[in-house]
Amino acid sequence: MNGAKKKNFRETALAMLVIGAIFVGSIFLSNHFFRTQIIHQQTTLLENKLMLLLEHFPEEDSLETNTITKSQKKLLKNYIKPDNTRFTLLGADKKIIYDTSGDPKDASRADRPEIIAVAKGSPIGTSLRASKTLDKEFLYVALPIKKEGQIIGYARLSEQVSNFSKNIAIFRQYIIGTLALLFIVIAIFVRQLIKQKNEPLETILPVLKKMVEQPEQERSIIHESNSWSELYTTVNRLSTQMSSTYQAYVSTEEQFYEFIDQLTIGVFIIKHDGTIELMNPAMCRLIGVYNPVGKNYFSVFTENELLLLLQQTITDKQTRKVEIRLTKPKLSVIDLSLRYVEPKANSTIQLIGAAYDITQLRHLERMQRDFVGNVSHELKTPVTSLIGFTETLLDGAKDDPELTTQFLQIIQKDAIRLQRLIAEILLLSRDGDIPDKEVQTVFMKPFLQELLSNYQKQIQAKNLTVEILGNTEYSYQTKLEIFQPIIKNLLENAIQYSKENGKITISYETTENQLKLAVKDTGIGIDSRNQKRIFERFYRVDKARSRNSGGTGLGLSIVQNYTELLGGYVELTSALGLGSVFTVYLPLN
């Protein structure tokens, strides 16, 4: 039974109880009133009869003689019906002189209420009680008999209540029947009234409960009531609007959390009790935790510096923006913003934090500084050389043909090196900014042979053996302007670091929807420490040798960047003194 039905039942039961109490009370009051009236009427009747009897009854003689005559007995016999009425004559001493019911003579009735009342001066004494001698209920009426103002005796007339109780019983039945009928009519009316009053509650309350429990579902009330139609229509509209609002809210909430989850910035919220209310995946990755929601922030943030910042922000109730270094789960630099939230009603949020991983940014800044420094250094050397030899020539060395030729060769070499450096810097500066190029078909073996032809002088100078392994008919679809610098720099790197009489092997094949192209040399090799940095700009394993051979330290950076532009990656396998293998993997599509 739901709440509305319980309320309806309680109200109906209470109404029936009240009506029933009124009904029972009405019966008792009506019965009492009617009984009182009947007794009053009967008392008056007995009083009149007694007074009429005393007018024709020579009571003084009887009182004086303490007996009654035969004529008096005959009068009483004709006037009094022994089955219904009883007459008693008492002397001044309240003892019986004569009683029609046969009570013994000289028996005292001084303790009877009606006699006591008259003896005390009441003009009439009445009493309704059970007779001690007859064991029946009687109505007694007593009158004083006076002579010269003094009571010389008492006359009492009584009648059995059963003689007139039939009227009371009939009236009681009539009253009960009438009130019962009235009770039924009123009960039906009240029941219908309560039902009509509670009809909207019984109908609407279950709908409202379901609306609260399942706000996403739309509810409708089907009704035929004209009196409550406007209310039901309003509730239906409310249900529709609530469902739409809730769905919009859920959608917005889902979008918000999806947005938070997709942010690259770490976001977290701490409640007043110190537990984590929200932490997005980016923040979880930054501090190396899993499923932190609901845990205390002391157990989530294990870095001492970070934990201290959180505690200070909560204690000082201030906003902070700092840059800190984390050591777990890896070394990183984060830009941390902490905002204390003032307590508000119905709000559990105490602290909102946002952390941005700027490790890469700081690394790029360092690389930028290194790049600028390296570029400045690399440009300074050939420029200084050019200026020095030019000044020497201008100072008179040009008059010596042999010395002039020697200086001009050095100037040419430095100018070529400077030109190459600038070209490679320009290549690197194009990184992700290279516009779409037309895809061309490259026949690998002729393409490699053509590139090698440009380095025959260097190859012969070192007496190197170059071998190309791969299908002679193989072709590859690619953007040639990006693909060519990759192969060119790998070849130059292999030639530059190969030992004399060494061997360079170039191989290509298709594996798992990829072009696998490897350049292997028998050069000086690279130790494991240098392998981690070999693709950095201007980084050289053997700086002196590289500079003397015209190397810039940018070739392998170009290889890596351009390979990534084509959607591939580079692998290095090398051992110190045993040579190196650079393998490029490029997608076929």
On whether both 449 and 572 belong to a single domain, the answer is yes
CA–CA distances in Å: residue 173 to residues 18, 160, 169, 170, 408: 22, 21, 6, 5, 148
- Going by C-beta distance under 8 Å and a sequence separation of 6 or more, which residues neighbour residue 183? 19, 20, 23
Q: Token digits for 359?
A: 């490790």
Q: What is the pLDDT of residues 509-552, one digit of tens each?
A: 988 888 999 999 988 888 777 767 676 655 555 544 444 444 55
Q: What is the pLDDT of residue 506?
A: 92
Element (H, E) at 151: strand 150-160
Residue labelled with tokens 């009897």? 53
On whether both 421 and 441 belong to a single domain, the answer is no
Q: Is the pTM of this model over 0.85?
A: no
Q: Flag whether 197 is in a domain.
A: no
Last residue of a domain, one of 410, 429, 448: 429
On whether both 401 and 472 belong to a single domain, the answer is no
Q: What is the pLDDT of residues 339-388, one digit of tens each?
A: 998 887 777 888 899 998 888 888 777 767 766 665 665 666 677 777 77
User: What is the number of other CB atoms lying within 10 angstroms of the CB of residue 267?
Assistant: 19
Residues 538, 532 contacting (CB under 8 angstroms): no
On whether both 128 and 143 belong to a single domain, the answer is yes
Last residue of a domain, one of 412, 429, 446: 429
What Rg value do the Cα atoms of the chain yield, rounded? Answer: 63
Q: Flag whether 227 is in a domain.
A: yes
Q: How many domains does the chain have?
A: 5
Closest CA to 234 of 203, 213, 263: 203
Task: State the pairing for strand pair 569-575/266-271.
Answer: unpaired
CATH number where 387 lies? 1.10.287.130
Quote the DSSP letter at residue 499: P
On whether both 29 and 163 belong to a single domain, the answer is yes
Angstrom distance (rounded) from CA 227 to CA 323:
69
Q: What is the pLDDT of residues 292-318, one digit of tens each?
A: 888 898 888 888 888 888 888 888 888
On whether both 445 and 560 belong to a single domain, the answer is yes
Q: Flag whether 497 is in a domain.
A: yes
First to last CA, the chain: 70
On whether both 236 and 142 belong to a single domain, the answer is no
Angle at 580 between CA 579 and CA 586, to 5 degrees: 160
Angstrom distance (rounded) from CA 60 to CA 22:
55
Q: Token digits for 582?
A: 């650079």
Q: What is the largest CA-CA distance in the chain?
A: 201
Name the residue type at position 475: S
Q: What is the pLDDT of residue 76?
A: 74
Q: Flag whether 208 is in a domain.
A: no
The parent domain of residue 103 ranges over: 3-167
CA–CA distances in Å: residue 243 to residues 101, 209, 258, 514: 92, 13, 22, 53
Number of residues in the chain: 589
On whether both 19 and 84 belong to a single domain, the answer is yes
Q: Token digits for 358?
A: 């700027």
On whether both 464 and 550 belong to a single domain, the answer is yes
Q: Flag whether 181 is in a domain.
A: no
CATH number where 502 lies? 3.30.565.10
CATH number where 103 lies? 3.30.450.20
Three-class SS of residue 126?
strand
Q: What is the pLDDT of residue 252?
A: 79
Three-class SS of residue 289?
coil
Last residue of a domain, one of 329, 357, 385: 357
User: What is the number of other CB atoms lying within 10 angstroms of the CB of residue 502?
Assistant: 19
Q: Flag whether 176 is in a domain.
A: no
Q: Token digits for 430?
A: 């194009």
Closest CA to 351 of 383, 311, 389: 311
Q: Flag whether 196 is in a domain.
A: no
User: What is the number of other CB atoms lying within 10 angstroms of the CB of residue 514?
Assistant: 16
Calculated CA dihedral for residues 536, 540, 546, 552, nearest 10 degrees: 20
DSSP string for residues in 524-537? S---HHHHTTTTST
On whether both 271 and 324 belong to a single domain, the answer is yes
Q: What is the pLDDT of residue 550?
A: 46
On whether both 256 and 269 belong to a single domain, the answer is no
- Going by C-beta distance under 8 Å and a sequence separation of 6 or more, which residues neighbour residue 411? 385, 386, 389, 390
On whether both 257 and 275 belong to a single domain, the answer is no
Report cis status (omega within 30 of 0) of the bond before 123: no
Angstrom distance (rounded) from CA 137 to CA 580:
137
**Residue 468, beta-bridge partner list:** 506
Residue labelled with tokens 């739409």? 244
Q: Token digits for 388?
A: 């020095």
Dihedral angle sign, alpha carbons of residues 182, 184, 185, 189: positive
Q: What is the pLDDT of residue 253?
A: 76
Q: Flag whether 175 is in a domain.
A: no
Q: Give the chain's residues under pLDDT 70.
A: 1-9, 11-12, 27, 30-32, 34-35, 56-65, 81-84, 132-135, 162-169, 171-172, 194-206, 212-232, 367, 370-381, 417, 420-421, 423-437, 531, 533, 535-554
Q: What is the pLDDT of residue 221?
A: 65
